[in-house]
Amino acid sequence: MTKRKNHIEAEEPIARYDKPLDFEQVWKMFQETDRMFQETDKKFQETERLLSKKSKETDKNLNKLEQLFTSQWGKLVESLVDGDLVRLLNKKDIPVERTVQRSKGNRAGINFEFDLIAINRKEIVIVEVKTILRPDDVSEFLERLLNAKEYMPEYADRIIYGAMAYLTADGHSNRMAEKQGLFIIRATGSSASIVNKADFKPKPF
């Protein structure tokens, strides 16, 4: 009989372990990983820049559209108010001899513009026209009114009154204008009307 070999065959190792990476190999891996991160970041920034550019272009186009819309409405309200201004002011004992639209100029390096001016020999009424009247509009207009005689010295001997005309008022901006001594003129339908309180007294500037 053949004797059986009494030994155990060497088994293949379950897992194979390579030699530990040396410093140069680790450094190369790090550099490659860093390069990949930089490329990814660059692509991300480029994508972000393109999206931002598109967003700015969209905002710019929307702003242009809003300005055009506001401008057209402003011209409509201005024409509407101008058509009724003589009648409205005559009722307030301010006889109007003529009106001027878009009075603009430059005085001492400062540009100015007034939407409407109603004129007689003793008084003028300067009208600011807004599609939507806001509190900031009132403050800005008051500042220009205080300088009106400097801007337009031909009216230095006249009493100046102010008026704000609008389609709609934001908050209580219309009453804010009234408290500052301004006529408030609201455009409604195909006409305009002065809507100050019955006891209102306009402030001379």
- How much is the pTM? 0.65
In this predicted model, what pLDDT tens digit does every residue of 149-178 receive, in sequence order?
A: 999 999 999 999 999 999 899 989 999 999
Q: Is the model's pLDDT at 148 over the cut of 80?
A: yes
CB 164 within 8 A of CB 138: yes
Beta bridge partners of 141: none
Q: Decide: 180 and 203 in contact? Cβ < 8 Å.
A: yes
Mean pLDDT value of segment 133-153 = 96
Domains located in the chain, CATH noted? 72-194 (3.40.1350.10)
